């Protein structure tokens, strides 16, 4: 019986470029294992790390650094050594790097933004995207306290209702308040996407590639292609440029399934 060697490695997908963002290494939520799998089964000429790869904010608060997070760095550097052009674009959770740009770290180029030209000659601005986040721009401290805000609101809810009770007013509902906030969040994302796209229009490019809001997207706003890489905390998504220049958002959980099937098929062949 013939053995197919590649079956041990599984399928390797080849792309012209891969764009990933918001890995948040140094946080419990980071799905480094899935990213390592993705790395193992993909190959590309260009690899863009579109910001918030390290979460320096979180690391400053409490140091969390498991082996897999180290492995992500090792594998990234390995790709760079083996011929992949790796560009690291700074984000807001790793804004500390912004002071040092442009600089080369091993074979990795550290920059704040750049232009990527696809195989079919389309020009894209590649940038993390926090530059258009209203909260970030006008009150960076506000988004830092976001995590503790919820607990605070819960306590405030009780206090507010205690006081309202004294004055004979009906209860104020935190649940209702948050529901309204979620509605605002949807509007916020929509506004964000349009604002980012209008920057592309101004810069006269075909599109913008960004991250930051952890919501993968491939849309067209007023003739500008808005491409968001998503994240590796919840969604495990990447933006890829195929060999013909076509741009696509891929979900690792779905692609992974294909690879698993491919392995099973190979076993049936042998
Ligand atoms: Mn960000």
pLDDT, tens digit (0-9, with 9 covering 90-100), for 223-264: 999 999 999 999 999 999 999 999 999 999 998 887 766 666
pLDDT, tens digit (0-9, with 9 covering 90-100), for 154-186: 667 777 878 888 888 777 766 566 656 656 666
Per-residue burial over 52-61, b if 16 or more Cβ lie within 10 Å, else e, is bbbbbbbbee
**Ligand 1 mean position to 253 CA, how many Å?**
23
Secondary element (H or E) of residue 150: helix 146-166
**Ligand 1 mean position to 91 CA, how many Å?**
5
**Ligand 1 mean position to 192 CA, how many Å?**
13
**Ligand 1 mean position to 246 CA, how many Å?**
26
Judge contact between 185 and 207, C-beta under 8 A: no
**Ligand 1 mean position to 89 CA, how many Å?**
11
**Ligand 1 mean position to 128 CA, how many Å?**
7
**Ligand 1 mean position to 179 CA, how many Å?**
24
- Supply 144's token pair: 């830092």
Domains of the chain as residue ranges with CATH: 5-269 (3.60.21.10)
Judge contact between 219 and 17, C-beta under 8 A: no
**Ligand 1 mean position to 172 CA, how many Å?**
33
- Supply 139's token pair: 């009150």
Q: Is the dihedral of CA 113, 195, 192, 228 positive or negative?
A: negative
User: What gap in Å lies between CA 195 and CA 191, rounded to an integer?
Assistant: 6
- Kindly tell me if the per-residue pLDDT of 87 is higher than 50: yes
**Ligand 1 mean position to 26 CA, how many Å?**
14
- Supply 3's token pair: 């053995």
**Ligand 1 mean position to 265 CA, how many Å?**
40
* pLDDT for the residue numbered 147: 46
User: What gap in Å lies between CA 212 and CA 48, rounded to an integer?
Assistant: 14
**Ligand 1 mean position to 211 CA, how many Å?**
7
* pLDDT for the residue numbered 145: 56
Judge contact between 203 and 125, C-beta under 8 A: yes
pLDDT, tens digit (0-9, with 9 covering 90-100), for 220-234: 999 999 999 999 999
- Kindly tell me if the per-residue pLDDT of 152 is higher than 80: no
The model carries a pTM of 0.79
């Amino acid at each position: 019986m013939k053995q197919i060697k590649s079956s041990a490695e599984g399928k390797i997908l080849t792309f012209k470029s891969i764009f990933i963002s918001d890995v948040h290494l140094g946080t419990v939520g980071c799905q480094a294992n899935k990213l390592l799998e993705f790395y193992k089964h993909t190959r590309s000429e260009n690899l863009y790390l579109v910001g918030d790869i390290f979460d320096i904010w979180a690391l400053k608060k409490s140091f969390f650094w498991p082996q897999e997070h180290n492995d992500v760095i090792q594998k990234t550097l390995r790709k760079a050594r083996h011929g992949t052009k790796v560009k690291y674009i700074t984000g807001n959770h790793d804004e500390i790097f912004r002071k040092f740009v442009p600089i080369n770290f091993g074979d990795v180029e550290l920059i704040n933004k750049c232009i990527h030209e696809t195989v079919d000659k389309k020009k894209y601005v590649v940038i993390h995207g926090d530059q258009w986040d209203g909260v970030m721009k006008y009150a960076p401290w506000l988004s830092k306290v976001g995590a503790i805000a919820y607990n605070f609101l819960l306590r405030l809810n009780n206090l507010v209702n205690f006081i309202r009770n004294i004055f004979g007013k009906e209860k104020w509902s935190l649940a209702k308040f948050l529901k309204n906030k979620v509605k605002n969040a949807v509007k916020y994302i929509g506004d964000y996407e349009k604002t980012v796209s209008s920057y592309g229009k101004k810069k006269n490019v075909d599109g913008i590639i960004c991250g930051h809001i952890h919501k993968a997207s491939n849309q067209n706003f007023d003739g500008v292609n808005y491409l968001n890489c998503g994240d590796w905390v919840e969604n495990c998504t990447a933006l890829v440029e195929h060999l013909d220049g076509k741009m696509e958002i891929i979900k690792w959980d779905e692609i992974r399934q294909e690879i698993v099937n491919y392995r099973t098929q190979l076993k049936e062949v042998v």
